[in-house]
Homo-oligomer: A and B are copies of this chain.
Amino acid sequence: MAVTPRPYHHGNLRVALLEQAERTLADGGDLSLRELARQIGVSHAAPRRHFAGKQALLDALAEDGFERLGTELRGALADADGFDARLLAFARAYVQFATEHAALLELMFAGKHRPGAAPSLRAAADRAFETPLALIVEGQAGGDVAPGDPERVGMVAFAAAHGIAALANNQMLGDFDLDDLVENAVERLILGLRPR
């Protein structure tokens, strides 16, 4: 047994901080930088070598979140054929990610609009939303969705998915089954998006 009584410390404090932060976030904790350092076994000033401040750590977490969301969305759409099934798959995947990582999602959106947010954060967010945007374009090409700027036309669908996720995370859905609500909403959106 090597003794290693807190040697000089870590080879990878940066990722250790991010992982511990994610765990705390998932547990509903309060994400204090000092507490994070304590849990990892490092002085409270050590994180400063790796993150300019607390906000920088939060931004890194949010950026990772957008990348994972993008991956989930791409994966969900890869398994679905036809516009209706693909819209449902998108909505399900979005709501599932949002409810499984409620605190992270809040952080992702709170971070995105911060004035001094890193361009890489915004880029990661844009990449995550490429998939649903492409879905609307597809739908237009196949005659399932009314013509027009795809962002403008598809906004109602994205907003509804985001809204259902937000309402679910705030316990505003009462006794309703989340998946049933998503299905129902998607049915109505499919009708509403059609060309007239």
A interface list, Cβ under 8 A from B: 109-110, 112-113, 151-153, 155-156, 158-164, 166-167, 169-174, 176, 180-181, 184-185, 188-194, 196
Contacts and interface: CB of A to CB of B under 8 A. Distances in A.
Nearest to A122: B171
11 contacts: A112-B170, A152-B180, A156-B189, A159-B163, A159-B164, A160-B160, A162-B166, A166-B166, A188-B193, A190-B192, A191-B191
Contacts of A172: 109, 112-113
Contact of A196 (B173, B189, B191, B192): B191
A161 B170 CA distance: 16
Contacts of A193: 188, 192
Interface of A is mostly: helix
B163 A184 contact: no
A109 B170 contact: yes
Contact of A155 (B113, B156, B181, B192): B181
B156 A185 contact: yes
A184 B151 CA distance: 12
A92 to B, nearest CB: 14
Contact of A163 (B163, B169, B174, B196): B163
Contacts of A173: 155
A65 to B, nearest CB: 14
Contacts of A152: 176, 180-181, 184
